[in-house]
Structure formats: C-alpha cells, structure tokens
C-alpha cells in the first residue's frame, strides 16, 4: 500500500509542476505581449493622424519637402520616432499618397525584436 501512496504522491507532484510550468509560460507570454503592444498602439494612432492629415485640402498643394517635415512632426506628436527621410510622398494625377517606413526595437529581458511598420494614406 505504501508503494501505491508514494506513486500517487509522485503523480500529483508531477502534475503540479506541469501546471506551474504552464502558468509561468503563460505569464511570460502575457508580459512579452505587454512590452510589444505599445508600438502597435502608437502605429495605429499615427495611421489615424496620417489619414486625417492627407485628407486636408492644403496637403495636396504643399511641396514635398515641407510635407515630409510636417509628417515627421506629426509622427513625433504621436510618439513615433520618424525622420523626414523615412517619409515617402507620391503624387499621381492630382492624388497624394504618403507612406512612412520605420522600425521600433523592443528590448525584452532575454531577447530583442525589431518591429517594422509601414503606415500609409492617400487621397482618392
């Protein structure tokens, strides 16, 4: 009978360790998600602001270099580090299209990841 009790105790202990390991892994994934989420939120806010910016009638008449500077300033207000050189401006048949290419490095405790973003907006 002692052997059966010992085997049962060992099985219960192993089961608890598996549950604890699963909880630890789940917690680590949640923490990583919380570190990675802010750049995605900032990119969403930049996308919305860029669409509003391009929709303004005066944007279509503004020279490209000024547009690049204005878009970089807009990005800075939304918390995104963008230089004017990362802003692409294209005009075609009276239509304006602005694209931004940038990356954000996220430093996790044991790993770092570069997130690449490409918000864009244009007139129709």
Tens of pLDDT, residue by residue, the chain (124 residues)? 577 777 777 777 877 888 888 998 998 888 878 888 999 999 999 999 999 999 999 998 899 999 999 999 999 999 898 999 999 999 988 899 999 999 999 988 888 999 999 999 998 7
> Which of 74, 120, 80, 118 lies closest to 98 in space, CA to CA?
120
> Which of 69, 45, 47, 46 lies closest to 59 in space, CA to CA?
69
Give the number of other CB atoms < 10 A from CB of residue 22: 10
Look up the pTM and report it.
Answer: 0.77
For the record, the structure tokens of 113 come out as 């990841």
């Amino acid at each position: 009978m002692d052997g059966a009790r010992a085997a049962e105790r060992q099985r219960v202990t192993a089961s608890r360790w598996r549950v604890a390991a699963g909880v630890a892994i789940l917690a680590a994934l949640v923490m990583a998600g919380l570190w990675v989420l802010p750049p995605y939120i900032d990119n969403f806010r930049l996308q919305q602001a860029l669409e509003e910016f391009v929709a303004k009638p005066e944007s279509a008449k503004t020279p490209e270099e000024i547009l690049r500077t204005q878009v970089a300033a807009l990005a800075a207000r939304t918390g995104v580090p963008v230089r004017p050189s990362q802003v692409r401006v294209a005009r075609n048949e009276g239509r304006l299209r602005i694209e931004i290419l940038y990356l954000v490095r996220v430093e996790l405790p044991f790993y770092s990841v570069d997130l690449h973003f490409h918000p864009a907006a244009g007139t129709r």
